């Protein structure tokens, strides 16, 4: 797989999606409420009795079976995303290890493997957050430019 800016963006998004699904599964484990609405027919208490319609609402708890079904599906989604995430992480680690530029290797390792923010990376290396972002963008642009074959002289 070719490592591109889009590939790295998908990798970061996938990590966030896994965390979102985990939180959702935890919320469902704790409780799951559904608001239900309905219309009932009644009459006014005064004479002459006039037919009226009333909207009522309340909270209905999902059954344990429904909760387990939802939690099972979320677990399947989480496991599939985790497997994809692990595969992508391995490819990114291999890519980073193949780099000759030691500074870029260190920056990409901290950003994509250790999950550090640009500001944190800058503090460690001694650059500003903006400088780190610019270095990564510049590196990614170099990767995406097609290299022309060298003609023999």
Are both 94 and 110 inside the same structural domain?
no
Are both 5 and 78 inside the same structural domain?
yes
Residues of the domain holding 94: 1-27+63-98
Are both 93 and 107 inside the same structural domain?
no
pLDDT for 46 = 75
Are both 139 and 105 inside the same structural domain?
yes
pLDDT for 34 = 56
Tens of pLDDT, residue by residue, the chain (153 residues): 688 888 999 999 999 999 999 999 998 877 655 566 777 787 777 777 778 777 777 666 667 788 889 899 999 999 999 999 999 999 999 999 999 999 999 999 999 999 999 999 999 999 999 999 999 999 988 887 765 555 565
Q: What share of the chain is helix, strand, coil (3-state, %, to 5)?
A: 65, 15, 25
Are both 75 and 137 inside the same structural domain?
no
Q: How far apart are CA 16 and CA 79, in angstroms?
A: 14
DSSP letter at 110?
I
């Amino acid at each position: 797989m070719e490592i591109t800016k889009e590939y790295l963006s998908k990798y970061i998004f996938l990590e966030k999606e896994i965390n979102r699904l985990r939180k959702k599964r935890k919320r469902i484990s704790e409780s799951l409420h559904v608001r239900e609405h309905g219309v009932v027919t009644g009459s006014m208490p005064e004479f002459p009795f006039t037919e009226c319609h009333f909207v009522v609402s309340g909270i209905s708890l999902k059954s344990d079976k429904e909760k387990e079904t939802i939690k099972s599906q979320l677990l399947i989604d989480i496991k599939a995303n985790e497997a994809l995430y692990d595969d992508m992480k391995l490819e990114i680690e291999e890519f980073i290890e193949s780099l000759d530029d030691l500074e870029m290797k260190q920056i990409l390792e901290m950003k994509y493997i250790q999950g550090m923010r640009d500001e944190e990376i800058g503090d460690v290396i001694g650059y500003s957050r903006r400088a780190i972002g610019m270095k990564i963008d510049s590196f990614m642009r170099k990767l995406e430019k097609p290299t022309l074959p060298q003609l023999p002289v």
